[in-house]
Amino acid sequence: MEIQTSSGRFAEADVWALAVAVFKDEKADEGFLKDLDAAAGGLVRAVLESEELKGKEGETAYLHLSPSGGGIKAKRLLLVGVGERADYRAAQVSQFAGAAVRALRSRSVKTVGLVPRLEGADAALVASASVEGAVMGLFEPDKYRTIEKEERAVERLVVVVEGADGGALRRGAERGRIVGESANFTRDLANEPGAYMTPTIMAERAQGLANEFGLEIDVLDQPRIEQEGMGAFLSVARGSDQPPKMMVLKYMPDGKTGIEDGEDYLALVGKGITFDTGGISIKPSENMELMKYDMTGGATVLGVMRAVAQLKPPIPVLGVVPATENMPSGKATKPGDVVRAMTGKTIEVINTDAEGRLILADAVAYAKKLGATRVIDMATLTGAVSIALGDVNTGILGTDQELIDEVIESGREVGEKFWQLPLDKEYTKQIKSDIADIKNVGGRKAGTITAAAFIKEFADGISWAHLDIAGTAWGDEAKPFRAKGPTGVAVRTLLNFIERASRRAAVNGGSGGEK
Dihedral-angle region of residue 171 (phi above 0 means left; psi in -120 to 50 means alpha; beta otherwise): alpha
Contacts for 447 with CB less than 8 Å, ≥ 6 apart: 382, 383, 384, 441
Indicate the helix (H) or strand (E) that contains 106. Answer: none
* Global confidence as pTM: 0.97
| Predicted pLDDT at 515 | 34
Domains of the chain by start residue, with CATH: 2-180 (3.40.220.10), 192-208+221-249+265-440+448-477 (3.40.630.10)
Positions in the chain whose pLDDT score sits under 50: 514-515
Write the pLDDT tens digit of every residue in 140-167.
Answer: 999 999 999 999 999 999 999 999 999 9
Round to whole Å and give the CA distance between 79 and 60: 5
Concatenating the DSSP letter of every residue in 147-177 gives: SS-------EEEEE-TT--HHHHHHHHHHHH
Catalytic residues: 283, 357
First to last CA, the chain: 41
By residue count, the chain amounts to: 515
SS3 405: helix
